[in-house]
Amino acid sequence: MNLNQLISLTILWLFRLLSKLIPFDFVKKMNKGKIILPFYHSICDQELKHIKHLYPIKSVREFEKDLDFLLKHYHPVLLTEKLSLDSNLKDQFLLSFDDGLKECYEIILPILLKKNLKAIFFINTGFLDNKALFYRFKISLIWEKILTDGLNPQQFGEITKQFNLENYREIENYLFSINWSNQHLLEPLASIINLDFEDYLKNSKPYLSSTQLEEMQELGFIIGGHSHTHPLYAKIDEQTRMNETEKCMEELEGYRNEFSVFSFPFSDHGIGTDQLLQMKEQAKLNYLFGSAGIRDEINLFHLQRIPMEKRTVEARSILCFQLLKYKFLSILGKNIVRRSQWN
Ligand SMILES: [Zn+2]
């Protein structure tokens, strides 16, 4: 670890400590008028095997607690033409949910309706109606099966020989290093351990159906794009980015509300300003969303959201930390995300 990393870690640790001690209203006042954009993937009281080894999800109780906190300190806002510009918009929040999982309809929607809240649901069109499974979910399922059932000597032998690995640790590292471009490598692994992704899709139905999506849209929720098959945009070429974005937005045309919106799968890190403009123009988008926490962008159509899925951390601590960090970055003049022109 070099000195800069040590300083950054110390500052982050200090912010985490302060975020537990300082009254929230004080931190909020320091960043008056800043719109808060929290986002989640799923909410569920049961374990979801396809997510279990990727990130923690909150229970219904924890989610409702988050919402109550947000409603106590902020006003829910709908997407408007002037979302990031209107100086009259004070202390507002806008919720969103990525990946189009079935809990969005079965669990989240009833809670939002009960609390009279609206939100954006960002969908991967390649997975809608359980047509296919996100490669990261496949990774979680494979690892879960290996941990639960173990590998018999024949399976262990086949995996270690075929993939040139020596032990469980190496199998785990190899599995979790598989990415969008080489996701075909997951199939032989699944086959050795007798895991059938089609069966999982058919039996567990992890994604929303188009009928559910239609109903959500009719209830006034905004349906946005999240790419067709969820690649990390920084790791694919410009043409593939455009294909993924346009295909997704075209397939969502039937669910369009007043606004056409898109959230980057994983992250928008490393995406240049010209690419953002090209995506906005060609895919006819009103807003693009990232997941970098509370940060500003040069392009006002581009907004950054706050990841809320930290199982033991409630909304208060997450927001307090984000607001403190944002204030600190603002003082240093580093609150605006730096982007090159293209990549
Ligand atoms: Zn996603």
Assign 3-state DSSP to the chain and report helix, strand, coil percentages, each to 5: 50, 10, 40
Residue 274, Cβ neighbours under 10 Å: how many?
14
**135 in Cβ contact with 183 (< 8 Å):** yes
Centre of ligand 1 from the C-alpha of residue 99, in Å: 5
The more confident residue out of 78 and 151 is 151
| Homologous superfamily of 16-132+206-331 | Glycoside hydrolase/deacetylase (3.20.20.370)
**Separation of CA 224 and ligand 1 centre (Å):** 12
Of 183, 285, 224, 203, the residue nearest 100 (C-alpha): 224
Model's pTM, two decimal places? 0.93
Rounded distance from Cα 339 to ligand 1 centre (Å)? 21
The string of pLDDT tens digits covering residues 45-104 is 999 999 999 999 999 999 999 999 999 999 998 776 555 544 455 788 999 999 999 999
**How far does the centroid of ligand 1 lie from the alpha carbon of residue 159, in Å?**
29
- Can you tell me whether residue 296 is helix, strand or coil? strand
Q: Tell me the CA–centroid distance for residue 144 and ligand 1, in Å.
A: 20
The model's pLDDT over 301-338, given as tens digits with 9 standing for 90+, comes to 999 999 999 866 889 989 998 999 898 888 888 888 88
CA of 265 to the centre of ligand 1 (A): 5
Measure 165 CA to ligand 1 centroid, in angstroms: 30
**Distance (Å) from CA 18 to ligand 1 centroid:** 30
Question: What ranges do the domains of the chain cover?
Answer: 16-132+206-331, 135-202
What residues have their beta carbon closer than 5 A to ion ligand 1?
98-99, 265
Task: Measure the CA–CA gap between 102 and 156, rounded to whole angstroms.
Answer: 34
pLDDT in tens, 248-258: 999 999 998 78
Could you give the dihedral angle defined by the CA atoms of residues 122, 128, 132 and 137, in that order, rounded to the nearest 10 degrees?
Answer: 40
Task: Supply the pLDDT for residue 85.
Answer: 43
Contact of 195 with 142, CB cutoff 8 Å? yes
40 CA → ligand 1 middle, Å: 9
Ligand 1: centre distance to CA 51 (Å): 12
| Cα(264) to centroid(ligand 1), Å | 7
